[in-house]
Structure 1
Amino acid sequence: MNYIAAAIAIFGAAVGAAYGNGKVISKTIESMTRQPEMAGQLRTTMFIGVALIEAVPILGVVIALLLVFK
C-alpha cells in the first residue's frame, strides 16, 4: 500500500505542477503580447513563479520516498 500511496503522491504533484506551469506561461505570453514593453519584467516574474511551482513535485518525491522507506 505504501507504493500505491507514493505513486499517487508523485502523480498528483506532477499533474498539479504541469497545470500550474501551463497557466503561468500562457498568461505571461498573453501579457507580453498586450504590453511588449513589459516583456523583460514579465519574463523575470514568470521564471520566479515557475521555480516556485516546480518545488511542489520535489516535495511530492520527498513524501513518496518517506512512504516507501518508512
Structure 2
Amino acid sequence: MVVGVLALATPAMAQDAAAAPAGTNILTGAAIGAGLIMLGAGFGISRIGSAAVESMARQPEVAGNIQTGMIISAALIEGATFFALIVCMIAG
C-alpha cells in the first residue's frame, strides 16, 4: 500500500494534468499488480510445499498421495497466476 502511494504520488505532484503522459499510472499499476501476483503465488506455493513435506514426514505411507495433491494444487496456483499476469500485461 505504501509503495503504491509513493510510486504514484511523485508523478502526480510533479506534473500538470495536461502534461502528464496518458498511460503513466496504468503502467505503474500493472507493474505493481504483477509484482504482488508473483509474491502471492510464491507464498502460496511455499505454504503448500511446507505443509506437504510436514505431512509426508508424519505419515510416510501416504507420501505419494500427498505429493500428487501438492503438485495439482501448485499447478492450479500457477495457472491462476499466469492468467492474472496476462491481465496485467493487457491492462498495461
Q: Which residue of 1 aligns with 2:47?
A: 23
Larger RCO, structure (CA 8 Å, separation 6 or more): 1
Tell me the CA shift for residue 44 of structure 1.
0.4
8 A Cα contact 1:13 1:56, kept in partner: no
Provide the TM-score with structure 2 as the length reference.
0.70
Unaligned runs of 5+ in 2: 1-24
Ranges in structure 1 where 5+ consecutive residues have no aligned partner? none
User: Percent identity among equivalent residues?
Assistant: 34
Q: Which structure has the larger Rg?
A: 2
Aligned: 1:12 with 2:36: yes
Whole-Å separation in 1 of the counterparts to 2:83 and 2:34: 9
Question: Which runs of at least 4 in structure 1 moved beyond 4 Å after TM superposition?
Answer: none
Residue pairs, 1:1-70, within 5 angstroms: 1-68=25-92
Residues paired across the two proteins, number: 68
What TM-score comes out, normalization by structure 1 length?
0.90
Name whichever of 39-48 and 4-13 sits farther off: 4-13
